[in-house]
Amino acid sequence: MRLTRRTLITLGALVGLAGTGLAGSSVMGTGSANARVVAGRPRAGTPAETWIQWGADPERQTGQLFLPDPQHWSGADPQPTYPVIMFIHGGGWTDKSGPLYCEAAARDLARYGVAVWLPTYRGIPSPGGWPMTFQDVSDALDHVARLGEHADFRPDLDRVHLTGHSAGGHLAAWVAARDQLPASMPGGRNTHDDARLSVRSTTPLAGVLDFEKAVNEDNDQWVVDVMGGRPEELPELYRALSPIDRLPMDIPVNVLHGKADTVVPVSTLRDYISKHANTGNAGRVVLMDGVEHNDWVDIHHRAWAVAREVCLASVGTGNR
């Protein structure tokens, strides 16, 4: 029986094929999955975990907050301040997907002294898709400002960073650029949005960054489903929601992808990577030989060691 791309994602049984080299890419060292110091941040303690309902839907508008161990990271402050990484899960933007498979990676980041917010959102076919999924991700980002209401810490709103895997990588790239959108669209800027947050960087892991190429070259039905149509049917919507059309951005965009990814083939990113380079957008592009789709969230894999280093380097050292 021939496995479809949908089956591969659902089972996590990803098949490695030879990858495609792309101009303008760079590959960095693999690092160590158990490194005691990463990007100048020591590893210490056991993170605390808090479940949060951030929206009206008790099943879909929820999330987990992972906080650094206060014994090692609080400095005896009862309300320590931590930078925040919002980690967006993938799963084809589907309503059956969830953040469980990203928990170990989120917990690992928190061991290095950052708060990690892992929200979920409404997905396709119902009740999510356009516009609900996108509104949820934008609202979940703004909820970072309220995370201190759920746990004993203060989120550093000047040091909010994004990462996400697969469909979550797309959402992490998209929501980082939401200020470019008109106020009439979910995530679009409204001059009265006092609680609106901006982010300092975004790091899509195995993300879908060029919707048109994903549909036309890889027959990505998930993109069609979340958009509600094909590129030729909804050209303006594709331009608004495809990360390639948000470049250049005024923040670093770190693109991490495996050359052996058969779920989101690296070949569909070639125009994105070229535009990233040609526009001088800050951020690293990392293409790794032999790395498959889910390797980026396997905390024992060399790909996660790279992803963790890129995320923590973006945060920088210190908690204030």
- Residue 193 structural domain: 22-315
CATH number at residue 290: 3.40.50.1820
Tell me, letter by letter, the H, E, C secondary structure of 208-261: CCCHHHHHHHHCCHHHHHHHCCCCCCCHHHHHHHCHHHHCCCCCCECEEEECCC
Span 272-310, pLDDT tens digits: 999 999 999 999 999 999 999 999 999 999 999 999 999
pLDDT at residue 16 is higher than 60: no
Total number of domains constituting the chain: 1
Which strands sit side by side in the sheet containing 115-119, from one edge to the other?
A: 48-53, 62-67, 115-119, 81-88, 154-165, 201-205, 255-258, 285-288
Yes or no: say if 258 and 303 are a contact pair by the CB < 8 Å rule: yes
Is residue 251 a part of any domain in this protein?
yes
Is residue 68 a part of any domain in this protein?
yes
pLDDT value at residue 38: 97
Is residue 308 a part of any domain in this protein?
yes
Whole-number Å distance between alpha carbons of 206 and 173: 11
Write down the H helix ranges in the chain.
5-11, 70-73, 103-110, 132-142, 167-176, 211-218, 221-227, 235-241, 270-278, 302-315
Is residue 13 a part of any domain in this protein?
no
- CA distances 275 to 204, 269, 284, Å, are 16, 10, 13
Is residue 7 a part of any domain in this protein?
no
Span 186-196, pLDDT tens digits: 888 774 566 67
Hey, is 272 helix, strand or coil? helix
Span 62-117, pLDDT tens digits: 999 999 999 999 999 999 999 999 999 999 999 999 999 999 999 999 999 999 99
Hey, is 182 helix, strand or coil? coil
Compute CA 118 distance to the chain's CA centroid, rounded to the nearest angstrom: 10
Tokens for 202, please give them. 């975004």
pLDDT at residue 218 is higher than 90: yes
